[in-house]
């Protein structure tokens, strides 16, 4: 059985070149949006804007400037997190979403019925419909390449090694060493997101090194499984049913009392 494989993305050395985006679309033969003539977003240099069924990699550009020359750029190549406890896998009604021998999460397009349940279940907004196939799609961590002993296309194309591929155990050690290095150099904000196996969702097989709050990068601070709210929502449903039942009984009782009053009045009148 192979060891769990994944990505460690060091956002501090991402240069925003989008080589990963291009490599991903090229290898997976993902079509261009709007026939390749999409309008510019006007949001910095980010015209992809988000992950979806046509973009399985997204390089985010975050500008933090007080004045023209006073600030910094944050860049991050976002991707499916291949959660150890995956919400999408939890809700899929057809078994289209599977966990592979590499501990990655893959959607089988030939089994997907396009119900969109996985889209709502993903706390990261990773999954979306591919308008060409009519099915939900996302990063597969290049399952076909892994099966052939090859590195995923995005990490192989990254010129700065911001996207690193390997066993999750080795990547965690490497990532912690990088955090220690940055903090030793005075970058006190350096932190890992998703690397803790005891953290939310049992840890992420694709995790990140950040130098600001997760929300700045568009990442939820405490991602949750859909089932996390099941007990609370179930209790509220039961309580709501009880309230409706009580109101129904009260209404029925009032209706009978009104009937009795009308019957008595009719009897007296006659």
Q: pLDDT (tens digit, 9 = 90+) per residue, 142-169? A: 999 999 999 999 999 999 999 999 999 9
For domain 5-224, the CATH architecture is: 2-Layer Sandwich (3.30)
Task: Check: CB of residue 124 under 8 Å from CB of residue 221.
Answer: no
Give the range among 23-27, 67-71, 76-80, 182-186 with minimum mean pLDDT: 67-71
Task: Check: CB of residue 151 under 8 Å from CB of residue 165.
Answer: yes
Q: In sequence order, what are the beta bridge partners of 8?
A: 164, 207
* Among 2, 24, 17, CA closest to 142: 24
Q: How far is CA 144 from the centre of its chain?
A: 22
Mean pLDDT of the region 239-262: 75
Question: How would residue 232 be classed by pLDDT, with cut points 50, 70 and 90?
Answer: low
Write down the pLDDT at residue 38: 78
Structure-token match 């990547």, residue found = 171
Write down the pLDDT at residue 94: 97
Cβ-defined contacts of 151-157 (< 8 Å, 24+): 152/7, 153/23, 153/24, 153/26, 153/27, 153/28, 154/20, 154/21, 154/23, 154/24, 154/57, 154/77, 154/79, 155/7, 155/20, 156/23, 157/19, 157/20, 157/22, 157/23
Residue with the larger pLDDT of the pair 164 and 1: 164
What is d(CA 95, CA 200) in angstroms, rounded to the nearest whole number? 24
Mean pLDDT of the region 197-207: 96
pLDDT surpasses 60 at 141: yes
What is d(CA 246, CA 173) in angstroms, rounded to the nearest whole number? 58
Give the range among 99-103, 120-124, 196-200, 259-263 with minimum mean pLDDT: 259-263
Give the three-state DSSP class for 266. helix
Whole-number Cα distances in Å, 54 to 105, 174, 209, 230:
18, 31, 25, 32
Write down the pLDDT at residue 237: 67
Give the range among 16-25, 62-71, 96-105, 192-201 with minimum mean pLDDT: 62-71
Mean pLDDT of the region 105-126: 97
Question: How would residue 246 be classed by pLDDT, with cut points 50, 70 and 90?
Answer: confident
pLDDT surpasses 80 at 242: no
pLDDT surpasses 60 at 233: no
Q: Over the chain, what is the mean pLDDT?
A: 91
The proportion of the chain whose per-residue pLDDT surpasses 90, expressed as a percent, equals 75
Write down the pLDDT at residue 229: 62
pTM for this entry: 0.83
pLDDT surpasses 70 at 235: no
Q: Given 3-state DSSP classes, what are the helix, strand and coil percentages for the chain, each rounded to the nearest 5?
A: 40, 20, 40
pLDDT surpasses 70 at 230: no
Write down the pLDDT at residue 42: 85
């Amino acid at each position: 059985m192979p060891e769990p494989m994944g990505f460690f993305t060091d956002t501090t050395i991402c240069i925003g070149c989008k080589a990963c985006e291009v490599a991903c679309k090229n290898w997976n033969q993902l079509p261009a949006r709007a026939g390749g003539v999409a309008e510019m977003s006007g949001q910095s240099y980010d015209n992809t804007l988000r992950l979806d069924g046509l973009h399985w990699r997204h390089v985010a550009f975050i500008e933090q400037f007080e004045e023209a020359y006073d600030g910094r750029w944050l860049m991050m190549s976002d991707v499916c997190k291949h959660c150890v406890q995956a919400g999408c896998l939890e809700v899929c009604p057809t078994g289209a979403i599977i966990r592979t021998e590499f501990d990655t999460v893959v959607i089988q397009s030939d089994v997907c019925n396009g119900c969109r349940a996985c889209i709502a279940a993903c706390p990261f907004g990773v999954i979306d419909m591919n308008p060409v196939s009519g099915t939900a799609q996302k990063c597969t961590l290049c399952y076909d390449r892994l099966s052939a002993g090859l590195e995923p296309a995005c990490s192989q194309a990254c010129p700065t090694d911001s996207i690193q591929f390997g066993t999750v155990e080795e990547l965690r050690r490497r990532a912690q060493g990088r955090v220690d290095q940055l903090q030793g150099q005075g970058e006190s904000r350096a932190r890992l997101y998703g690397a803790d196996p005891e953290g939310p969702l049992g840890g992420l097989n694709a995790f990140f090194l950040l130098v600001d709050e997760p929300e700045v990068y568009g990442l939820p601070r405490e991602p949750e499984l859909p089932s996390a709210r099941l007990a609370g929502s179930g209790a509220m449903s039961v309580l709501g049913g009880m309230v409706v039942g009580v109101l129904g009984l009260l209404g029925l009782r009032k209706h009978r009392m009104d009937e009795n009053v009308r019957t008595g009045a009719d009897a007296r009148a006659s």
